[in-house]
A and B are shown apart, each in its own frame.
Chain A
Amino acid sequence: MIKDFKLPDLGEGLTESEIVKWQIAVGDTVELNQVIAEVETAKAVVDLPSPFAGKVTALHEAAGATVQVGAPIVSFDVPAEAGADDSGDGTAAGSGADSEGGTPEAKPERQSVLVGYGPAAESDGRPKRRRRSGNGGGAGSAGVAPQATAEPTPESATKPTPESAPEDPAEATPAAASPAQAAPAAASSNSAASKPAERPRSTPPVRKMAKDLGVDLTRVTGTGRDRLITRADVQAFADTAAAPETPGAQAPRSGTAEREVRIPIKGVRKHTAAAMVRSAFTAPHVSEFLTVDVTPTMELLAKLKDSSAFAGYRLTPLTIVSKALMVALARNPSLNSRWDEENGEIVQMNYVNLGIAAATPRGLVVPNIKDAEQLSLTGLSTALTDLTETARAGKTSPENLSGGTISITNIGVFGIDAGTPILNPGEAAILAMGAVRKQPWEYQGEIALRQMMTLSLSFDHRLVDGEQGSKFLADVGAILAEPGMVLTMV
């Protein structure tokens, strides 16, 4: 007899959990209470003990997947006598409407709805309502219908069919797989209509006043602390409403759009947050800035683009900065080191895995180019192009996301000059490239319009002192200000 283990609510009101690691595989024979997986909830990482003794016939989710409470995660083949109670399988937990469809008397084999299994969460994190017997059904089924065709997403669009990617169910689950998983697609299509706006903030006396004056508080903009609606706001609104309406003034207030949207913290956002917090509160950051006249670099780029040797290569300021960083790093190796707390050692790497911060549709990722110090300018150019394209397509392999030794973040592409970047955890330095702008600058004793760029360098003061950090930054700047200076450095 096949029994499904549905993901329970592991922590008082959670709607989802992430499978961190499976400790079993299909075909394994497991005992009751044997640990089968490590699961992370919003509250804790916990071991999941098997509720059945039997043979694993299917794992429904891959490690790393975020799973809704109530969704089946493992199927077991359980010896028949051990499973007299039929509660484990059969009706899907999420579809309460179906399981409660008949009259109670017609179902003597009552489903022992396990704790946390009843309400499958919808995309808004609230328990799903059972379908009402009256007029509610029409709206519900209308909302469900469109989900049968998978909502086009960047990921699924690049793949021939959703079924072609079974290795990553977290990313492209066939939409028709289960009601619980399909629900978000339907909900998002009409979320504005179905989701109630936040209740206006006000106090009871003000609500009474609004009621007396016939004022709809959802249309009033609060001016008090935390947008609290005050008596004056209500009075002002009532006065305005009494006066002939001026459409222009009224328009911004009348919307029933949500004032807040709550987005689950997961995936890349979650990992970024964890990594940044870890880095910010582990490595004492120092940031330094250097504004450089990069006109010679821009001229060099123009020349290279015209030369046949570089035809077909994508050369950008990032390519030159990357190369300059390699040269400067060879002269200031402490910027390419790692703090090994466990062993009480500083690890100095004789290779450079150059991380490049890439904004992708899924969020920030920092893939790195392995052994970048061995690459020529054209080699770096090719590697950078590959890296960013792979990252934007969301296909960066895990090994390229780990093991970086130093990073570059190109905030210039957003038109920004400088910043104080946070270190990619485990790395000693990160260099932010600012935008290249024409600015008046001293040139040969005169003021001239020059192409300027500000470099921002953050480094880990446990590993790097101001002297080394400054020398490194000055070296990078010297090369960009006069690429020929490389001759004096190598």
Chain B
Amino acid sequence: MSTHDSSSADDGGLVQLLLPDGERIADAGYDKWVADVDDDQLKSLYEDMVVVRRIDTEATALQRQGELGLWPPLIGQEAAQIGSGRTLRQDDFVFASYRENGVAYCRGVEYTDLLRVWRGHTHSGWNPYDINMAPSQVIIGSQTLHATGYALGCQQDGVDTVAISYFGDGATSQGDPNEAMVFAASFQAPVIFFCQNNQWAISEPVGLQARAPIASRAPGFGIPSMRVDGNDVLAVMAATRIALDRARSGNGPTYIEAVTYRMGPHTTSDDPSRYVDVLEREGWQAKDPISRLEAYLQSRGLLTDEFTGRVNATADDVAAKVREGCLGLEPPEPLSVFDHVYSEPTSWLERQKDEYVQYLQTFEGGQ
């Protein structure tokens, strides 16, 4: 939706339904898209956000303990991921980057499947067709092309399934998302470009690569866009539903820029204290997606001790399962690396495999 009631925005067209202090503000254009969100749904959104943050801290700890090679934390982006992930239909298909563990959670991923890639055991943690979510894409931005292609397929099949692609602000400087937008607009593909602008492309601040709001680029491709407060779970839900509705009804792609903040490092190998201004981070801390929803629940009398206790217990339970599952993962056999390169063996690959077998035999206890 390229136009909306600007009175609801404090930042030149930023859609907001929930202010950082938890105040719910009315918005004529967006309210109706979250009118069905009742107390129970609010509480369950809160629970999901708390749980994915807990998964994140546990996975980070596992990396620090040598159990994972790497982990890309999502802390600060829970509302953007849960708010959008929860609106998707089961047959919709997600093409995400490596940071969308919250979206994967919404898709019902097994915890161990979330981790095995980062333990170096496999190239893909899950069967994409089990949860309708492609393997995490580490190549920056290329999943936008995959999503657009999948959406074109849905269009050809005559189904109202939607493809959604998640990427970051850094990816918008890559060619792939721009090419994907050209094709998506040309064919009016049922695809959503969901950009989580977390302000940092590793150590490069977004302002260096985007002189104007990222959302303002899409109309140039002929794609309507929305710029929403990515730490406002209700605004994210509303925007995603608008985009889903447009795609399902045959009106083509939508671009959503969810303005959020990466509170942690780019990955566990990164040290943001070298480039992030402490004051900037504190400013975003005050806009935290979970504490904002917490304040809203409090104002509605929903934040009882019984409720928060139950949520925290659930989060701890999930964290324990994450740890247990991680420690229980069996490393793959070395030769299995050759198994899924091609659907059928090639002489070239067979030769490599033979050579690797011989190489392993040069070690004591080799195979």
**A and B part of one assembly:** yes
- Asked if B113 is at the interface of the complex by the 8 Å CB criterion, the answer is no
Question: Is B68 a contact partner of A101 (Cβ separation < 8 A)?
Answer: no
Measured in the bound complex, the distance between the Cα atoms of B367 and A117 in whole Å is 21
Closest chain B residue to A113 by CB distance? B331
B342: chain A residues at CB < 8 Å are none
Question: Is B66 a contact partner of A44 (Cβ separation < 8 A)?
Answer: no
Question: Is B271 a contact partner of A43 (Cβ separation < 8 A)?
Answer: yes
Flag the segment in A45-53, A170-178, A375-383, A397-405 that touches B: A45-53
Measured in the bound complex, the distance between the Cα atoms of B366 and A103 in whole Å is 9
- Asked if A6 is at the interface of the complex by the 8 Å CB criterion, the answer is yes
CB of B121 to closest CB in A, whole Å: 10
Interface positions, chain A 399-450, Cβ under 8 Å from B, are none
Residue of A9, A44, A47, A117 with highest tally of chain B CB at under 10 A: A44
Question: Is A115 a contact partner of B120 (Cβ separation < 8 A)?
Answer: yes
Residue of B61, B119, B273, B362 with highest tally of chain A CB at under 10 A: B61
A199: chain B residues at CB < 8 Å are none
A54: chain B residues at CB < 8 Å are none
CB of A19 to closest CB in B, whole Å: 14
Given A11-B268, A12-B269, A115-B119: A133 in contact with B66 (beta carbons within 8 A): no
- Asked if B40 is at the interface of the complex by the 8 Å CB criterion, the answer is no
Question: Is A9 a contact partner of B364 (Cβ separation < 8 A)?
Answer: no
- Asked if B286 is at the interface of the complex by the 8 Å CB criterion, the answer is no
Closest chain A residue to B362 by CB distance? A132
- Asked if A331 is at the interface of the complex by the 8 Å CB criterion, the answer is no
Measured in the bound complex, the distance between the Cα atoms of B58 and A17 in whole Å is 22
Partner of A134, one of B65, B69, B70, B362: B362
CB of A85 to closest CB in B, whole Å: 7
Given A112-B327, A115-B120: A131 in contact with B65 (beta carbons within 8 A): no
A104: chain B residues at CB < 8 Å are 365, 367
CB of B323 to closest CB in A, whole Å: 8
Question: Is B363 a contact partner of A132 (Cβ separation < 8 A)?
Answer: yes
Partner of B362, one of A51, A97, A115, A133: A133
Question: Is A115 a contact partner of B68 (Cβ separation < 8 A)?
Answer: yes
A5: chain B residues at CB < 8 Å are 65
Measured in the bound complex, the distance between the Cα atoms of B268 and A134 in whole Å is 40
Given A115-B120, A132-B364, A134-B362: A6 in contact with B66 (beta carbons within 8 A): yes
Question: Is B66 a contact partner of A9 (Cβ separation < 8 A)?
Answer: yes
Residues of B in contact, count (CB < 8 Å):
27
- Asked if A100 is at the interface of the complex by the 8 Å CB criterion, the answer is yes
- Asked if A461 is at the interface of the complex by the 8 Å CB criterion, the answer is no
Given A9-B69, A133-B364: A44 in contact with B327 (beta carbons within 8 A): no
Measured in the bound complex, the distance between the Cα atoms of B271 and A100 in whole Å is 36
CB of B57 to closest CB in A, whole Å: 8
Q: Name A's interface SS.
A: loop
Question: Is B363 a contact partner of A133 (Cβ separation < 8 A)?
Answer: yes
B92: chain A residues at CB < 8 Å are none
- Asked if B64 is at the interface of the complex by the 8 Å CB criterion, the answer is yes
Closest chain A residue to B329 by CB distance? A112
B70: chain A residues at CB < 8 Å are 12
- Asked if B67 is at the interface of the complex by the 8 Å CB criterion, the answer is yes
- Asked if B91 is at the interface of the complex by the 8 Å CB criterion, the answer is no
Partner of A45, one of B63, B271, B365: B271
- Asked if B39 is at the interface of the complex by the 8 Å CB criterion, the answer is no
Measured in the bound complex, the distance between the Cα atoms of B58 and A9 in whole Å is 17
- Asked if B354 is at the interface of the complex by the 8 Å CB criterion, the answer is no
A9: chain B residues at CB < 8 Å are 66, 69
Partner of B363, one of A50, A51, A100: A100
- Asked if A26 is at the interface of the complex by the 8 Å CB criterion, the answer is no
A8: chain B residues at CB < 8 Å are 63-67
B269: chain A residues at CB < 8 Å are 10-12, 43-44
CB of B85 to closest CB in A, whole Å: 26
Question: Is A114 a contact partner of B364 (Cβ separation < 8 A)?
Answer: no
Interface positions, chain A 130-173, Cβ under 8 Å from B, are 130-134
Given A10-B268, A12-B69, A43-B271: A48 in contact with B364 (beta carbons within 8 A): no
Measured in the bound complex, the distance between the Cα atoms of B331 and A9 in whole Å is 17
Question: Is A102 a contact partner of B365 (Cβ separation < 8 A)?
Answer: yes
Closest chain B residue to A34 by CB distance? B61
A85: chain B residues at CB < 8 Å are 327
Measured in the bound complex, the distance between the Cα atoms of B70 and A51 in whole Å is 16
Contact with B along A27-54 (1 / 0, CB 8 A): 0000001000000000111111111000
- Asked if A116 is at the interface of the complex by the 8 Å CB criterion, the answer is yes
Measured in the bound complex, the distance between the Cα atoms of B367 and A97 in whole Å is 14
Measured in the bound complex, the distance between the Cα atoms of B265 and A10 in whole Å is 13
Q: Can you give 13 A-B contacts (C-beta < 8 A)? A: A5-B65, A8-B65, A43-B269, A44-B270, A46-B268, A100-B363, A102-B365, A112-B331, A114-B66, A115-B120, A116-B66, A116-B69, A130-B363
Other A-B contacts than A48-B64, A49-B61, A134-B362, 11 sampled, CB-CB below 8 A, are A5-B65, A7-B66, A8-B67, A10-B64, A11-B268, A11-B269, A44-B269, A115-B119, A115-B120, A130-B365, A132-B363
Which 6 A-B pairs have CB atoms at the shortest separation, nearest pair first? A8-B66, A44-B271, A100-B365, A51-B65, A11-B269, A49-B61
